[in-house]
Structure 1
Amino acid sequence: MNTNETIIIEKLNKLETLLVSSIKQILTVEDLINYTGFSRSYIYKLVHKNVIPYSKPNGKTLFFQKNEIDSFLLQNKSASISQIEQKAINYTAATK
């Protein structure tokens, strides 16, 4: 197998992993790494500090609920300039 074939196979494997992770509702640490792009050590750090929601049903293996992870990833959202401008327009219109 030549280098180009190897690269194509690696990319296909990565795509397959991403597709499987996106379909699953319960994620393992490996799934979470692929889903978020976070490193393994960062995930364990978040778990250790109870920053990220997780389950540990057997006392050993970590599981993450995808919708909770999505909420976690979208918290502390920053408004865009256009959203801030619209809020200002709405506020000034309401106070007149």
Structure 2
Amino acid sequence: MLLILNPVTMDELIKRVAQIEEQLSNQKNVLSFNEASKYLCFSKSYLYKLTSTGAIPHYKPQGKMIYFEKAVLEDWLRQNPVKTKKQIQEEAANYVVAPPQKK
């Protein structure tokens, strides 16, 4: 006799599997091209453009498949931070109070 204690709909199962896949993907250090595209929220065509122009760090161990190191992607994403108005004002105030000394 089959006893079902907690009936689950197919939609709920699909959502749970997707959550498990996402959690497993978040634990990986090396991402495939498709995983990197999802992780970065970039279209595949845009990610191909970045790799072909050498604008984003990536690996091609056998010369065909493209892989990305997650930590390197995170560093790449943090390039060129944009300062807030408050940070700019504080830097300007500090510069006026104590301008950099000439060497």
- For normalisation by structure 2, the TM-score amounts to 0.75
| Correspondences of 1:66-81 after superposition (within 5 Å) | 66-81=70-85
SS, match of residue 64 in structure 1:
strand
| Correspondences of 1:1-96 after superposition (within 5 Å) | 5-95=9-99
- Larger Cα-atom Rg: 2
- Contact kept, 8 Å, 1:21 with 1:34, in 2: the verdict is no
How far residue 6 of structure 1 moved from its aligned partner, in angstroms, is 4.4
One-letter amino acid matched to 2:23: L
4+ runs of 1 displaced by more than 6 Å?
none
Q: Deviations over 1:22-61 (max 9, x none)?
A: 2111111121122111111111111111111011011111
- Contact kept, 8 Å, 1:25 with 1:65, in 2: the verdict is yes
Q: Deviations over 1:58-79 (max 9, x none)?
A: 1111111111111111112111
Sequence identity of aligned pairs in percent?
32
- Contact kept, 8 Å, 1:17 with 1:34, in 2: the verdict is no
One-letter amino acid matched to 1:72: W
- For normalisation by structure 1, the TM-score amounts to 0.80
Residues 90 and 8 (structure 1), Cα distance of their counterparts in 2 relative to 1, 3 Å cut: farther
Cα RMSD after superposing both structures: 1.9
- Contact kept, 8 Å, 1:18 with 1:34, in 2: the verdict is no
Distance in 1 between residues matched to 2:20 and 2:37, nearest whole Å: 14
